[in-house]
């Protein structure tokens, strides 16, 4: 009886773990926030911005996310990106980033520069309805 109860408890615990939403584990993520990882943010607090010009505060890029999917999966992929950005400690994501700026990422001030050509309204892959959805995770640098 005790063994069955422990097995059941283990199954319940394991089934409750994992991704916070669909598509979360499908994202391809590159982080470049340097040697100190930012503190996770609560879900629902990451702000989506359409373009870099929409961000009216100073910021630095801390990651890049992409995911292949169909047009019908766009909303779910956006939600997954918002959740992953929160887990990365981001304050926002830029959906149509044309360029990720250079950022100091190591103690000796090496720079990383990633160019992005399309945003969340992604580019078509092949002849079907597959798209590549991309976003840049950002962290505000002011103390507002």
Q: Report pLDDT digits (tens) over 54-112.
A: 999 999 999 999 998 888 888 899 999 999 999 999 999 999 755 434 344 444 544 44
The model's pTM? 0.68
pLDDT by residue (tens digit) across 44-69?
999 999 999 999 999 999 999 999 88
Domain ranges of the chain: 21-140
> What residues does 65 pair with on adjacent strands?
29, 135
Distance CA 46, CA 42 (A): 8
Alpha carbon 117 to chain centroid distance?
17
């Amino acid at each position: 009886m005790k063994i069955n109860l422990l097995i059941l408890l283990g199954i319940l615990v394991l089934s409750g773990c994992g991704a916070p939403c669909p598509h979360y584990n499908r994202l391809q993520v590159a982080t470049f926030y340097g040697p100190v990882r930012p503190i996770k943010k609560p879900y629902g607090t990451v702000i989506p911005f359409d373009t870099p010009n929409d961000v009216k505060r100073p910021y630095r890029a801390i990651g890049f996310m992409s995911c292949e999917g169909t047009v019908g999966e766009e909303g779910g992929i956006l939600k997954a990106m918002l959740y992953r950005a929160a887990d990365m400690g981001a304050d926002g994501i830029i959906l149509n980033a044309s360029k990720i700026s250079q950022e100091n990422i190591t103690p000796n001030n090496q720079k990383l520069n990633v160019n992005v050509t399309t945003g969340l309204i992604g580019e078509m892959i092949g002849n079907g309805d597959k798209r590549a959805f991309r976003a840049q995770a950002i962290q505000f640098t002011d103390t507002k």
